[in-house]
Amino acid sequence: MKKNYIFSPGPVEVPSEVLLAGARPTVHHRSADFPPIFARCQEKLRKVYVTEAPVAVLASSGTGAVEAAMVSTCSPGDTVVVYNAGKFGERWGKIGRTYGMNVLELQPGWGKPLDPALVENTLRKHPETRAVIVTHTETSTGTVSDMKGLGEVVSRTDAITIIDSVSAFAAEELRQDEWKLDMVCTGAQKALMLPPGLGFASASGKALAAMKDAKSPCFYLDLRRYFKSAEKDDTPFTPAVNLFYSLEQSLDMLLAEGMENNWARHTVLSRASRAAMTALGLTLFSERPSVVTTAVNLPDGVEWGAFNKELKSRGITIAGGQDHLKGKVFRFATLGHYNVFDVVTIVSAVEMALAASGHAFELGKGVAAAMEVLRAYHPARGWVAVEKETRALEPVAALLPS
Amino acid sequence: MKKNYIFSPGPVEVPSEVLLAGARPTVHHRSADFPPIFARCQEKLRKVYVTEAPVAVLASSGTGAVEAAMVSTCSPGDTVVVYNAGKFGERWGKIGRTYGMNVLELQPGWGKPLDPALVENTLRKHPETRAVIVTHTETSTGTVSDMKGLGEVVSRTDAITIIDSVSAFAAEELRQDEWKLDMVCTGAQKALMLPPGLGFASASGKALAAMKDAKSPCFYLDLRRYFKSAEKDDTPFTPAVNLFYSLEQSLDMLLAEGMENNWARHTVLSRASRAAMTALGLTLFSERPSVVTTAVNLPDGVEWGAFNKELKSRGITIAGGQDHLKGKVFRFATLGHYNVFDVVTIVSAVEMALAASGHAFELGKGVAAAMEVLRAYHPARGWVAVEKETRALEPVAALLPS
């Protein structure tokens, strides 16, 4: 009776309520049946985004949504600033160059968060900058950057912010309007708890204005078409109808939980994971770990392939390192529909796989450390209170409130 | 994002494959569509029963199946011997008296296993005995009785054995033919991993012969009708068609695992649970614990209502004590579609609820003890090898191989 558990930073476990919602009969998207579904999703999406801005929904991956944001607002020759400190930051630079944009890459090094002051200086030197493209949480390194600080500095210039929040959205705190962010992009198979197949991109008034004279060649990824159709609660191209059913279900679940509570839950679960890894004598890769991914340095003597095989044989999916981190880190996540006992599961799985891979430690120490954090949870109090209460157990100084 | 986990000794978690199989369109049970489904289920059921005997499938609960076995083979005035050492044993005595049978109750006390020698002596004194009704695993106390020894002694007499294997079936080792058992009854919502609604009763040649002159009043529960219809791959009354779809799926899963492997898995998982409870300083209720239910004495100072509330608030369902054990024990199970990480989950949940209820112990000790047993598991080796390998970690002397 094998059971499979997915602890990758996307795709994630899809709740059965969401799967069942997607199994309803497909309506014709050009009939009167579809616009009310679109409208309800739009309204609920904005609540999750904490924004008044419209949100385009594409049948695409998360990368499709970020590319759409870039090409719909920037032209060949435009200066764009890209934060590249991992696999995904690297990708946005490549896309900019593909369209002939003048890409300025900020490269603090993998695992380093973006310093808003660095962006501020860059924009001072390059006042012609059209857009600043930043990855909210870099999945490849488990690092979170300061979106509020970024919004603060970019909003004072003519540039717009394009946030790749693909892995962070609905897990890390994000308030588009209050934090003065222009475009926030995400995908389906992360904390939105959906099967893959939808891309999302919001646009502030400043972003919509930038779209007016943008000249990058695009058609399917042209967000102007999406925002125009959205005025009639419709999409320019065939929408992924059944994923909209699932989307509405997942948005209802997120709003029932409440975003503050949701963000705090992700914080506590990742804190418990960090506490566990630290208790096992392991070190974290990132200087500023996100709630999205716990990236852990593989200890000496533990070979990634053998370690991962031990996990896989027990039905557990996690992620390894990418590019030069291959074989050096392992990464796991409790992103979306995860709770206390999921952390207990992944930590005990990591312990058993470490033990089977020859790492010496006291079996159970990691789970005990996680439980010390998790025991504080009680639904009557909610996650926000638990988050405050467990700060003293946070093993990463950078994450403690200043 | 609350998640619910069921660790009761039935109903149990139903795998999504089984649920989805049951969601297929309902065929007409009096059309040519149904008999092939019936025939395939019958063939697979016999493999799980390890028998050549036919197995009646009723739209009923497990109690319905045991009552059907009793009334189809015994008449008013017949002597029946009933092992009563818990809630369910008590019930079979009540049913016997309801039909005017002469019920001889063997009452070793709750939590005590049945001694086959006691049955042997009773049958010597009462050679007129028509049937011996024994609960394989008494769910109310977490106790298993020796079915092989029972078959040995009863098969030498004119009496038949009627085994209430409702909670044990497909979890505890059972070999109907080899162990010379006559009727084995079970229900859907235990280790068969189904939603409730099906009852099962097999019948050996000796049992079928006993049915010929049995005169208890019965119609729906008259198994003779079921065995007659079964000759044409049919049922005498409307079958629960969609549960047959689910049944075939669950039987396929059980046979893919293999019964030896399945029994060993249940043994190891329950061994890990017992090791965990013992490591927490708790004691087990039963003298001979079954793999079906871990019944634990509530420690001093921990009140069942408060303890259970802590578990429930974390989405965990277990069972309390019944009748005079109310408030004195708690019971949990990993019965059916459960694996290594389910044990980790229920043990960590019990620890957190104990801690929240004021019990003093070192958090994590139970999980660590469970992991010491569970770490031996590797699918490449299979559960049978792991069962042998972890015998040294068995905390209950009665369960060690003699």
What is the DSSP annotation of A290-333? -SS-EEEEPPTT--HHHHHHHHHHTTEE-EE--GGGTTTEEEE-
Rg (CA), chain A: 21
Provide the ipTM. Answer: 0.90
Contact A19, A249 (CB under 8 A): no
Look up residue A196 and give its DSSP letter.
S
Residue from A251, A312, A332, A341 whose CB has the most chain B CBs within 10 Å, to mutate: A341
Cα B64 to Cα B187: distance, rounded to the nearest angstrom = 9
Cross-chain CB nearest to B257 (options A1, A313, A355): A1
pLDDT value of position B397: 86
Contact B1, A257 (CB under 8 A): yes
- Helices B340-356 and B304-313: crossing angle in degrees, nearest 10, is 130
Beta-carbon contacts of B169 under 8 Å, excluding residues fewer than 6 positions away, are B136, B184, B186, B190, B191, B192, B200
Pick from B210, B150, B397, B157: nearest CA to B288? B397
Peptide bond just before B11 cis, omega within 30 deg: yes
> For the segment A94-116, what is each residue's pLDDT rounded down to a tens digit?
999 999 999 999 999 998 999 99
Cα A243 to Cα B266: distance, rounded to the nearest angstrom = 39
Backbone angles phi, psi at B128, to 5 degrees: -80, -5
Contact B246, B22 (CB under 8 A): yes
Burial (CB < 10 A; 0-12, 13-18, 19+), residue B125, is exposed
Cross-chain CB nearest to B1 (options A5, A314, A339): A339
Beta-carbon contacts of A54 under 8 Å, excluding residues fewer than 6 positions away, are A42, A46, A202, A203, A227, A230
Give the pair of three-digit tokens for residue B171: 């979890």
Pick from B315, B326, B325: nearest CA to B348? B315
Cα B364 to Cα A350: distance, rounded to the nearest angstrom = 16
Burial (CB < 10 A; 0-12, 13-18, 19+), residue A171, is buried
Q: How far is A28 from chain B (nearest CA, A)?
A: 24
Backbone angles phi, psi at B200, to 5 degrees: -130, 140
Cα A275 to Cα A374: distance, rounded to the nearest angstrom = 10
Cα B333 to Cα B147: distance, rounded to the nearest angstrom = 21
Average pLDDT along chain A = 96
Q: How far is CA B253 from CA A307, B15, B17, B248, in A?
A: 28, 10, 9, 9
Contact A259, A48 (CB under 8 A): yes
CB of B313 within 8 Å of any CB in chain A? yes
Q: How far is A76 from chain B (nearest CA, A)?
A: 44
pLDDT value of position A402: 58
Contact B352, A371 (CB under 8 A): yes
Residue from A1, A249, A334 whose CB has the most chain B CBs within 10 Å, to mutate: A1
Record: contact B377-A5, CB cut-off 8 A? no
Record: contact B336-A364, CB cut-off 8 A? no
Residues of A in contact with B375 (CB under 8 A): 352, 355-356, 363
Cα A188 to Cα B224: distance, rounded to the nearest angstrom = 56
Confidence at A285, pLDDT banded by 50, 70, 90: very high
Residue A226, H or E segment: helix A223-230
Considering only alpha carbons, which residue of chain A is nearest residue B258? Answer: A1
pLDDT value of position A380: 85
Beta strand pairing call for B329-332 and B294-297: antiparallel
Residue from A24, A313, A367, A375 whose CB has the most chain B CBs within 10 Å, to mutate: A367
Record: contact B348-A338, CB cut-off 8 A? no
Domain residues of chain A, as ranges?
Answer: 16-256, 258-399
Bridge partner list, B237: none
Residues of B in contact with A375 (CB under 8 A): 352, 355-356, 363
pLDDT value of position A258: 97
What is the residue type of B164?
D
Cα A325 to Cα B289: distance, rounded to the nearest angstrom = 49
Record: contact B364-A364, CB cut-off 8 A? yes
Size of interface A-B (CB pairs under 8 A): 116
What is the residue type of B119?
V
3-state secondary structure chain B: CCCCEECCCCCCCCCHHHHHHHCCCCCCCCCCCHHHHHHHHHHHHHHHHCCCCCEEEECCCHHHHHHHHHHHHCCCCCEEEEECCCHHHHHHHHHHHHCCCEEEEECCCCCCCCCHHHHHHHHHHCCCCCEEEEECEECCCCEECCHHHHHHHHCCCCCEEEEECCCCCCCCCCCCCCCCCCEEEEECCCCCCCCCCCEEEECCHHHHHHHCCCCCCCCCCCHHHHHHHHCCCCCCCCCCHHHHHHHHHHHHHHHHHCHHHHHHHHHHHHHHHHHHHHHCCCCECCCCECCCCEEEECCCCCCHHHHHHHHHHCCEECEECCHHHCCCEEEECCCCCCCHHHHHHHHHHHHHHHHHCCCCCCCCHHHHHHHHHHCCCCCCCCHHHHHHHCHHHCCCHHHCCC
Bridge partner list, A144: A137
CB of A314 within 8 Å of any CB in chain B? yes
Q: How far is A273 from chain B (nearest CA, A)?
A: 15
Give the pair of three-digit tokens for residue B402: 């003699």
Residues of B in contact with A364 (CB under 8 A): 364-365, 367-369, 371
Residues of B in contact with A356 (CB under 8 A): 375, 378
Beta-carbon contacts of A398 under 8 Å, excluding residues fewer than 6 positions away, are A287, A288, A289
Record: contact A1-B265, CB cut-off 8 A? yes
Bridge partner list, A280: none
pLDDT value of position A38: 98
Q: Report, as an integer, the average pLDDT of A163-191.
A: 97
CATH number for the domain running over A258-399 = 3.90.1150.10
CB of A265 within 8 Å of any CB in chain B? yes
pLDDT value of position B306: 96
Q: How many residues does chain B have?
A: 402
Residues of A in contact with B362 (CB under 8 A): 368
Cα A190 to Cα A168: distance, rounded to the nearest angstrom = 8
> For the segment A243-261, what is each residue's pLDDT rounded down to a tens digit?
999 999 999 999 999 999 9
Interface of A with B in 317-376 (CB under 8 A): 336-342, 344-345, 348-349, 351-352, 355-356, 362-365, 367-369, 371-372, 374-375
Residue A162, H or E segment: strand A160-164
Helix, strand, or coil (residue A132): strand
Q: Quick one: CA dihedral B345, B350, B351, B357, positive or negative?
A: positive
Pick from A147, A197, A198: nearest CA to A168? A147
Record: contact B367-A365, CB cut-off 8 A? no
pLDDT value of position B72: 98
Q: Report, as an integer, the average pLDDT of A235-241.
A: 96
Contact B231, B185 (CB under 8 A): no
Neighbours of A228 (CB within 10 A): 12
Half-sphere exposure of A296 (CA within 13 A, CB side): 28
Peptide bond just before A11 cis, omega within 30 deg: yes
Cα A309 to Cα A322: distance, rounded to the nearest angstrom = 17
Neighbours of A169 (CB within 10 A): 24
Record: contact B341-A5, CB cut-off 8 A? yes
pLDDT in 10s for each residue of chain B, 402 residues: 889 999 999 999 999 999 999 999 999 999 999 999 999 999 999 999 999 999 999 999 999 999 999 999 999 999 999 999 999 999 999 999 999 999 999 999 998 999 999 999 999 999 999 999 999 999 989 999 999 999 999 999 999 999 999 999 999 999 999 999 999 999 999 999 999 999 999 999 999 999 999 999 999 999 999 999 999 999 999 999 999 999 999 999 999 999 999 999 999 999 999 999 999 999 999 989 999 999 999 999 999 999 999 999 999 999 999 999 999 999 999 999 999 999 999 999 999 999 999 899 999 999 999 999 999 998 888 999 999 999 999 999 888 875
Neighbours of B232 (CB within 10 A): 10
CATH number for the domain running over B16-256 = 3.40.640.10
